[in-house]
Structure 1
Amino acid sequence: MVPSEPAADLSVGDSVIDSDDDDPDEAIVIDIPAGETLEDWEYETDSGTATAADGNPNYPADAQLVVIVFRSALAETVPDWQDIEPEELVEKVDHAGIKQYGFPTGRLERIEPGAMAAEWLDGLADRFDDAGWNVTHDNTELTVEQFDEEYRITADGTVEGEGEYRTPLENIVEMERS
């Protein structure tokens, strides 16, 4: 079966989430197999073999297949995955034995890489704003400024910047993340 729609603007290596999931986890596109549809992707269930079309009844069975893996599994198993050529990524994932999932293009939403891991920064940005700090917030980091001192807080909890507020900021970040 030939796909009824192209893979939109997704590419191998893109960070995506499942737009049908209320609490999605970040995933990475590892393959967009040319000419393959949801009907072509089979997986085993307790009831037997199913297809991605069976698991996605609200999407056309002939929709373009997009293969993803969860970012956490990929980063844990293939730490240098971002340095791998896109055409080699699916092979590395296969070799590593990472569970793969078939999705229709329309169910995936591209996101900024690392954005899901940085969600905790939203609450921290509000706290600093309420405390009178100047806050600049993008998807994966905060820049906070007060009394001519500027600090950058990254999604992994690193506080960058020099000044008397660095240690208290590190303590606040540690409390926010625990």
Structure 2
Amino acid sequence: MTPAGDAVPFDLGESVLDSDDDDPDPAVVVNCPDATAEEWDVDGEHTVATFPGNREYPDAAPVVVVVFADVLRDTIGEFAGEEPLALSDLSDRGVPFYAFPAPRLVPADAGDSSEDTDESDDGEGPTPTPDPALETLAEELRGRGVSVDLDADAGVLRAEKLGEKYTIQPDGTVSGDGAVRERLEAVTREVAP
């Protein structure tokens, strides 16, 4: 059992990267079993804790199960993260999945957590000031595992989740077709004044 206080730091459907990989492929959290790295059997020979590459992580770390984003899209389709995917179903369908100690993973947008709207001084005038309401919404979405860029020039948010792209207008209009559009609209309504 995962000890109290060692909560899994990721949500179902969140896009993550392997921090030990120099060129990681995005993966999606599909299950967060109630087990520690030392308890979760990987292959009958290793636990997550003893699997090569994981020995530097705590034995008591929670386990996070992921499927690479492109594989998930090609095999399962859209996954909104409402409920965990049953690992037996993934196995039956031939979908490869991987169990990691949670500290080994980072949110896919971790390197994009602060917006710098003045990326270059090209001498073409002042950088547009981003709408504070959009900045607030962007932070809320990032906190929910959505990759978000604030496009100050266009005055919109560019969001991506599960490989699907969305544009969010200042009035809360969400454009883009995908599994999480309704969830994005709901968050936009929650955050809007």
Tell me, yes or no, whether TM beats 0.5.
yes
CA displacement, residues 90-127 of structure 1 (integer Å, 9 cap, x when unaligned): 45533432211111111122345xx89xx8xx9xx947
Aligned pairs for 1:12-161 (under 5 A) are 12-43=12-43, 49-53=45-49, 54-55=51-52, 56-82=54-80, 85-88=82-85, 90=87, 92-112=89-109, 126=119, 130=122, 132=125, 134=128, 139-141=147-149, 143=151, 145=153, 150=154, 154=158
Unaligned runs of 5+ in 1: 161-178
Question: 1:29 deviation in Å?
Answer: 1.4
**Higher normalized strand content (fraction of residues):** 1
- CA distance in structure 2 between the partners assigned to 1:158 and 1:64 by the alignment: 31
- After superposition, the C-alpha distances for 1:1-40 in whole angstroms (9 at most, x for unaligned) are x445723332322222222223222211111211343452
Aligned to 2:174: none
Query: CA deviation digits over 1:37-93, x for unaligned, max 9?
Result: 34523238xxxx4432232110133432221111121112111222x6413454553
Question: Secondary structure in 2 aligned to 1:51?
Answer: coil
**Length-normalised TM-score, structure 1:** 0.56
Q: Larger % of helix: which?
A: 1
Aligned 8 A contact 2:15 2:27 in 1: yes
SS of residue paired to 2:43: strand
Distance 1:144 1:80, change over 3 A: same
Contact 1:15–1:27 (CA under 8 A) maintained in structure 2? yes
* Contact 2:38 2:48 (C-alpha < 8 Å) held by counterparts: yes
2-side partners of 1:159 and 1:104: how far apart? Answer: 33
- Normalising by the residue count of structure 2, what TM-score does the alignment of the two structures yield? 0.53
CA distance in 1, matches of 2:167, 2:64: 37
- The runs of 4+ residues in structure 1 deviating greater than 6 Å are 155-160
Residues paired across the two proteins, number: 144
Larger radius of gyration: 1
**Contact 1:38–1:104 (Cα < 8 Å) also in 2:** no
Q: Is the 8 A contact 1:65 1:102 kept in 2?
A: yes
* Percent identity over paired residues: 29
Residue 35 of structure 2 contacts residue 62 of structure 2 at CA under 8 Å; is this kept in 1?
yes
> AA paired with 2:15?
S
Which runs of 5 or more structure 2 residues have no equivalent in the other structure? 139-146, 169-193
CA contact (8 A) 1:17 1:111 kept: yes
Structure 1 contact 26–70 (Cα < 8 Å) conserved = yes
For the residues of structure 2 that align with 1:134 and 1:90, how far apart are their CA atoms?
A: 47
